[in-house]
Structure 1
C-alpha cells in the first residue's frame, strides 16, 4: 500500500491544468498544500483552425473528397502531458521530491507514462485514475487517501 508520507508530492492533472500539492503531515491525517499550478490556454479546435479542411481528387471524374484537418485542440492536450513530464523531470533532478502520486484520468495517466523520464517514474508511488482538477483540496485529500487505502 502506498502512503501519503510527509513531503510526498501529489500532482492532480487533466490535459489542460495541473495542481501541485505537497503533503505537510502523514498518511493518517493528510494535509495537502497547493504550492504550484500550471494551466494551458487551449481554445476549441474550431477557434484554432485557420482554414477549411483540404480537398483531394477522388477516383471518379470531377469528384473530390475532403481531408481530415489537424486537431489543434487535441495536439495541445498531448503537448501539455509532455511539458508536465519535463517539469517533473526538472524538479526530480533538483531533488525537490522523493515520492510522487499522480492523479489523472486513465488517458492522461497513459500520456504521462509515455512521456516521463525514468528518474520520475522511479519516484511514482501511486497512480489514481480519476479527474479531480476541479475539486476543492479537502475533497482531493479524502479521495486520494481513500484510493491509496483501497490499493
Structure 2
C-alpha cells in the first residue's frame, strides 16, 4: 500500500489544468501545499473551428457527404497531457521530487502513462484514476489519503 509521506509530490490534473502539490506532513494528517499550477486555455471545438465541415462528391448522382472536421478541443487535451509529461521529466531530471502520486481522470492517466519518461515513471508510488482537479486543495489531501487507504 502506497503512503502519502512527507515531501511526496501529488500531481492532480484533468485535461486542461494541473496542480503540483507537495505533502508537508505525513500520511495520517496530509497537508498539501501548492508548488505550481499549469493551465491551458482550451475553448470548445466549435470556437476553435474556422470552417464548416467539408463536403465531398459521392459516386451517386447529386450525392454529397459531410466530412468530419478536426476536433481541436480533444487535440488540445491530448497535447496538454503530453506537455505535462515533459514538465514532470524536467522536474525529475532536476531532482525536484523523489516520490510522485498521479491523480487524473482515467483517460488523461492513460495518455500520461504512454508518454512518461522512465525517470518519472520510476518515481511514481501510486496512481489514482479520478478527476480531483476542481476540488479545493485542502480537501484533495484527505481524498488522496482515502483512495490510498482503500487501494
* Coarse TM-score class (shorter-chain normalised): over 0.9
For residues 61-112 of structure 1, give each alpha carbon's deviation from its aligned partner in whole angstroms, at most 9, with x where no partner exists: 2211010000000000000000000000000000100100011111111011
Aligned-pair Cα RMSD in Å: 0.7
Return the offset for 1:42. 0.3
Indicate the residue corresponding to 1:37 in structure 2: 37
Indicate the residue corresponding to 2:60 in structure 1: 60
Distance 1:17 1:27 in 2: 25
Detail structure 1 runs of 4+ shifted over 2 Å in the superposition.
Answer: none
TM-score of the superposition, structure 2-length normalised?
Answer: 0.98
SS at match of 2:80: helix
Distance 2:68 2:117 in 1: 33
SS at match of 2:98: coil
Indicate the residue corresponding to 1:6 in structure 2: 6
Indicate the residue corresponding to 1:118 in structure 2: 118
Structure 1: gaps of 5 or more residues:
none
Structure 2: gaps of 5 or more residues:
none
TM-score of the superposition, structure 1-length normalised?
Answer: 0.98
Q: Is the counterpart of residue 143 in structure 1 residue 134 in structure 2?
A: no
